[in-house]
């Protein structure tokens, strides 16, 4: 444990997605992490109710991962990712392919969710062009969708503060489906809400407006996390799949938070039994010990691009750090842990007590909705008049002071603990929130 240091100057760092001036007035600094807990710079233990940012699925500081990264760092610190490979990159690709739905067994490595999304969108366009359908350039996202912060991701994303500064230069030809959250119909849902599958039919309307022959891909998060835990209605994803397939439009599932056990299965696609054409992932792929991401691509898409391109480079895209040796070491070690400890099954087994604990907040002051699936829950609070988000922000701050990390987005508290959480920690997590809700205005 480190004592808080007077020598840290907080002025140079421009923090992402942060009220920087407020942070500097009241900094929250972490200094260590182990298992289910963070340690703050002033030596307090914080229960991690969010797996960092939905990413530390096996818990913090797993020795197997540290060892794998350390070994790789001294062995092969870096290998060029173009034209030259290293064995672990192929091993890691095979390992990820084995977890994907049937057919999605071509893996393109990236370093983040944002890169995975932009990669998948480019693959979609490249695929149609390779098949002589280069006019299919339109993309369809969804309101309240979060797909990272690249220009592609914010264009298909549906969060206005992330987009509006750049509205003049977003990708052209993007439409948005309506989101699926309608409190009058699906509040307090446990697991998938019964209401809302018909919202997928909006896709038919958008297709009719533009003609299917102009549309390349639809991208959605199978369960939207960052915008307040929106669980897909029963039958909704199936309907998106049916419509896109009928019109030759690719379907991309952004599984940056849902892949690797969050919903009690390797992927949301597997959990819901709906197979898209591509899956984007990051976060849990490496247990977040090293930045890493990937796109799993249907073999036929990959083959079409390769077949159309003759003998040269097939796809002009890639990152200096695609399949970085330390990332692939972390990926392989993380996947070993998930498998050995049966963490995806553990998440499934814990989802019932987790659901009970989340829904026990129903009836508390300020709580207007609870929704959940697997080891994700959202607890929505009534906004304070004239100060949207302020109440949830206060809950976050008070929980942190009491040693529990939760996340908030707007007025929704989001819970997504490491899959190694136990039942007493689940009780502590939601119990602390209950106490805090009782004491705030
Ligand atoms: N897509 C989804 C669904 C996400 O939740 C996130 C991150 N929360 C991203 C993309 C972007 O990932 P990154 O921050 O690693 O770029």
Residue 156 belongs to domain with CATH number: 3.40.640.10
ipTM topping 0.90: yes
Which pairing describes strands 250-254 and 412-415: parallel, antiparallel, or unpaired?
Answer: unpaired
Q: Both 266 and 381 in a single domain?
A: no
What pLDDT is stored for residue 121 in this prediction? 98
**Greater model confidence, 3 or 190:** 190
- Answer with the one of 316, 340, 364 that is the final residue of a domain: 340
What's the gap in Å between 26 CA and the centre of ligand 1?
A: 26
**Is 223 a domain residue?**
yes
Q: What is the mean pLDDT of the chain?
A: 97
**Closest C-alpha to ligand 1, atom 8:** 226
**Is 170 a domain residue?**
yes
Percent of the chain with pLDDT over 70: 99
Q: How many helices and strands, by DSSP H and E, does the chain display?
A: 16, 15
**Is 263 a domain residue?**
yes
Domain extent for 402: 20-58+342-439
- Answer with the one of 340, 368, 384 that is the final residue of a domain: 340
**Closest C-alpha to ligand 1, atom 1:** 147
Judged against a pLDDT cut of 60, whether residue 61 lies above it is answered with yes
**Is 267 a domain residue?**
yes
Judged against a pLDDT cut of 50, whether residue 440 lies above it is answered with yes
**Is 420 a domain residue?**
yes
Angle CA(308)–CA(81)–CA(171) in degrees, nearest 5? 60
Count how many domains the chain has.
2
Q: Both 282 and 366 in a single domain?
A: no
What's the gap in Å between 381 CA and the centre of ligand 1?
A: 24
Q: Both 305 and 367 in a single domain?
A: no
Residue 140 vs residues 168, 201, 254: alpha-carbon distances, Å = 18, 13, 13
> Average pLDDT, stretch 368-385?
98
Q: Both 389 and 432 in a single domain?
A: yes
- Name all residues whose Cβ lies below 6 A of ligand 1: 112-114, 117, 146-148, 221, 225-226, 254, 256-257, 282
DSSP state of 379: E
By most ligand atoms within 8 Å of CB, the mutation choice from 118, 222, 282, 414 for ligand 1 is 282
DSSP letters of 178-244?
PPS--HHHHTT-BSS-SS-GGGGGHHHHHHHHH-GGGEEEEEE-SSB-TTT-BPPPTTHHHHHHHHH
CA atoms within 13 A on the CB side of 102: 2
Judged against a pLDDT cut of 90, whether residue 5 lies above it is answered with no
| pLDDT, tens digit (0-9, with 9 covering 90-100), for 158-188 | 999 999 999 999 999 999 999 999 999 999 9
**Is 6 a domain residue?**
no
Judged against a pLDDT cut of 90, whether residue 63 lies above it is answered with yes
CATH code of 364's domain: 3.90.1150.10
What's the gap in Å between 114 CA and the centre of ligand 1?
A: 6
What pLDDT is stored for residue 2 in this prediction? 43
Q: Determine which of 35-39, 276-280, 308-312 has the lowest per-residue pLDDT on average.
A: 308-312
Q: Determine which of 4-13, 138-147, 331-340 has the lowest per-residue pLDDT on average.
A: 4-13
SS3 381: strand
Contact 104, 297 (CB under 8 A): yes
Closest by CA to 88, choosing from 99, 102, 75, is 75
Contact 249, 217 (CB under 8 A): yes
* Residues whose CB is less than 8 angstroms from the CB of residue 401 and which lie 6 or more positions away in sequence, other chains included: none
53 CA: nearest ligand 1 atom: 8
**Is 255 a domain residue?**
yes
pLDDT band at 6 (very low <50, low <70, confident <90, very high): confident
> Average pLDDT, stretch 122-145?
98
What pLDDT is stored for residue 311 in this prediction? 82
- Answer with the one of 340, 357, 378 that is the final residue of a domain: 340
What's the gap in Å between 62 CA and the centre of ligand 1?
A: 23
Q: Both 49 and 80 in a single domain?
A: no
Largest CA distance in the chain: 68
153 CA: nearest ligand 1 atom: 10
249: left (phi over 0), alpha (psi -120 to 50) or beta: beta
Q: Both 156 and 202 in a single domain?
A: yes
What's the gap in Å between 105 CA and the centre of ligand 1?
A: 22
What pLDDT is stored for residue 7 in this prediction? 78
**Is 3 a domain residue?**
no
What's the gap in Å between 311 CA and the centre of ligand 1?
A: 34
111 CA: nearest ligand 1 atom: 15
Q: Both 172 and 309 in a single domain?
A: yes
By most ligand atoms within 8 Å of CB, the mutation choice from 113, 294, 327 for ligand 1 is 113
Q: Both 296 and 404 in a single domain?
A: no
112 CA: nearest ligand 1 atom: 15
By most ligand atoms within 8 Å of CB, the mutation choice from 111, 115, 147, 148 for ligand 1 is 148
What pLDDT is stored for residue 4 in this prediction? 53
What's the gap in Å between 287 CA and the centre of ligand 1?
A: 14
What's the gap in Å between 259 CA and the centre of ligand 1?
A: 12
> Average pLDDT, stretch 242-260?
98
């Amino acid at each position: 444990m480190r004592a808080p240091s007077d020598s840290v100057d907080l002025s140079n760092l421009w923090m992402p997605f942060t009220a920087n001036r407020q942070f500097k007035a009241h900094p929250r600094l972490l200094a260590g992490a182990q298992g289910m807990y963070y340690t703050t710079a002033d030596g307090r233990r914080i229960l991690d109710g969010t797996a960092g940012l939905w990413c530390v699925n096996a818990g913090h500081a797993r020795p197997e991962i540290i060892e794998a990264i350390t070994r790789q760092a001294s062995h092969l610190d870096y290998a060029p990712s173009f034209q030259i490979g290293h064995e672990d990159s192929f091993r890691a690709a095979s390992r990820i392919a084995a977890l994907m739905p049937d057919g999605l067994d071509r893996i393109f490595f990236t370093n983040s969710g944002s890169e995975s999304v932009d990669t998948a969108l480019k693959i979609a366009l490249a695929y149609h062009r390779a098949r002589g359908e280069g006019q299919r350039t339109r993309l369809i996202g969804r309101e309240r969708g979060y797909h990272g912060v690249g220009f592609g991701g914010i264009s298909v994303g549906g969060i206005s503060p992330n987009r509006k500064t750049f509205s003049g230069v977003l990708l052209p030809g993007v439409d948005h489906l309506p989101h699926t959250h309608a409190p009058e119909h699906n509040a307090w849902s446990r697991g998938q809400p019964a209401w809302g599958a018909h919202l997928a039919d909006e896709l038919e309307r958008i297709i009719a407006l533009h003609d299917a022959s102009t549309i390349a891909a639809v991208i959605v998060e199978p369960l939207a996390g960052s915008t307040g835990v929106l669980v897909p209605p029963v039958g909704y994803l199936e309907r998106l799949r049916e419509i896109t397939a009928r019109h030759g439009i690719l379907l991309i599932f952004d599984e940056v938070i849902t892949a690797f056990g969050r919903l009690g299965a390797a992927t949301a696609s597997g959990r819901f039994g709906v197979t898209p054409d591509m899956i984007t992932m990051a976060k849990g792929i490496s247990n977040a010990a090293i930045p890493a991401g990937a796109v799993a691509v249907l073999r036929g898409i990959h083959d079409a691009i390769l077949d159309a391109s003759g003998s040269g480079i097939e796809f002009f895209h890639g990152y200096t750090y695609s399949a970085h040796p330390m990332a692939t070491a972390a990926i392989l070690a993380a996947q070993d842990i998930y498998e050995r400890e049966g963490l995806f099954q553990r998440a499934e087994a814990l989802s019932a007590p987790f659901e009970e604990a989340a829904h026990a907040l129903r009836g508390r002051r300020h709580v207007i909705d609870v929704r959940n699936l697997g080891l994700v829950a959202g607890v929505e609070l009534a906004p304070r008049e004239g100060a949207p988000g302020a109440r949830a922000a206060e809950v976050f701050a008070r929980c942190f002071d009491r040693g529990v990390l939760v996340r908030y987005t707007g007025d929704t508290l989001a819970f997504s603990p490491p899959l190694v959480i136990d039942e007493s920690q689940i009780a502590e997590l939601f119990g602390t929130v209950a106490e805090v809700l009782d004491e705030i205005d």
